[in-house]
Amino acid sequence: MRIPTAVRPAPAPWQQWWVLSGRVIRPTLRNGELLTPPAASVLFTIGFYIPLKQLMGNFLDGMSNYAQYLLPLIVLQAIAFAAVSASFRSATDAVLGINHRFGSMPIAPLTPLTARLSASVFRCSSALLFAILCGHVIGFRFYNGAEVTTAFWLLALMIGVLLSLLGDLVGSATRNPEATSHLLMLPMLVFGLLSVGVQPVEQFPGWIQPFVRNQPISQFIYALRALAGDSTPAAGAVNWSVIGPALGWLVGTIAIVLPLYAYQSSRRR
């Protein structure tokens, strides 16, 4: 007598990734969600530039104009806004139980996360593109060569990946789609304002200056500002002492978040 056996399916990870990414991206093409990252880019550009131009115009650290000074912060805020929606999606997935379902299917543990991240990167890219376009309108220009400009875009996108990863983790931890997105949005504004993006570190009260100078957003802004360059040398030189800390924050945070994510998803199962 033969014992009936089933053949274990051998799914293709790439195809799974493609299908799961489509699952996240396709609804956003229909429900208007695709329009929010560009809208956020425009909002942050006018929201920071128009009211603060006069007020902060005197403290530029020697840079040529306020648009050039402000753009890294606008880029970071726009990307963060796009990345925050990752938390909404992962919280929804966690609540609806689709993660349990995926866990019972022959899918690699990180594939659903990767698919959600790809959707977030897609949104971050559009936010980044529109932030640069808006910046161009108010007077921002790239002053360094093609390689350094490419490095600017890559660094900004990597920050987007990092923020999406963080948002995804927070979302699947809180399992509350309602509150999570806003929970992340205002803190982004708080960190953005408490950085060197709006005004130089010397303008802050003395007791908070060490925090302002060393917090990750400020380090990202120093790096992005140097990569974008300026007509004056005040933007900072592109060297490891400027770019290094930003990369350090990126790699370090990802190295902490990934094990946390693994712990989080294994605990739920």
Partner 1 sequence: MAVAGGGTKAGLLFKGPRAASRESYERSPWRLLVQIRLQTARILRGWSRDVATTIEALIVPIALLFTLDIVLGKAISQVSGESALYGSVPMVAMVGAMSGATVGGIGLMRERTDGLLSRLWVLPVHRASVMFSRIAADAARIFLTTVAILCVGLLLGFRFRQGIMEALIWLCVPVVFGLAFCALINAIALYAAKALVVEATGLLYALLMFFSTGWVPLAQYPSWIQPAVQHQPLTYAVEAMRGLALGGPVLAPMAGLLLWVAAIVAVCAVPLTNGYRRASMRG
Cβ proximity of 238 and 144 under 8 Å? yes
Phi and psi based region of residue 139 (left: phi greater than 0; alpha: psi -120 to 50; beta: remaining): left
Q: Decide whether 71 or 243 has the Cβ nearer to partner 1.
A: 71
Site residues (vs partner 1, CB under 8 A): 27-28, 31-33, 36, 39-40, 43-44, 46-48, 50-52, 54-56, 81, 85, 88-89, 92, 174, 176-183, 185-187, 189-190, 193-194, 198-199, 203-205, 208
Cβ proximity of 139 and 94 under 8 Å? no
Q: Decide whether 111 or 195 has the Cβ nearer to partner 1.
A: 195
CB of 113 to partner 1, least distance (A): 18
* C-alpha span between 245 and 30 (Å, rounded): 40
CB of 35 to partner 1, least distance (A): 9
* C-alpha span between 193 and 91 (Å, rounded): 27
CB of 255 to partner 1, least distance (A): 26
Q: Decide whether 89 or 225 has the Cβ nearer to partner 1.
A: 89
Tracing tokens 């938390």 back to the chain, one arrives at 87
Q: Decide whether 52 or 234 has the Cβ nearer to partner 1.
A: 52
CB of 42 to partner 1, least distance (A): 9
Cβ proximity of 188 and 159 under 8 Å? no
Question: CA separation (Å) from 19 to 44, 83, 202?
Answer: 33, 21, 50
* C-alpha span between 246 and 187 (Å, rounded): 19
Token pair belonging to 254 = 């990802």
Q: Decide whether 251 or 260 has the Cβ nearer to partner 1.
A: 260
CB of 196 to partner 1, least distance (A): 11
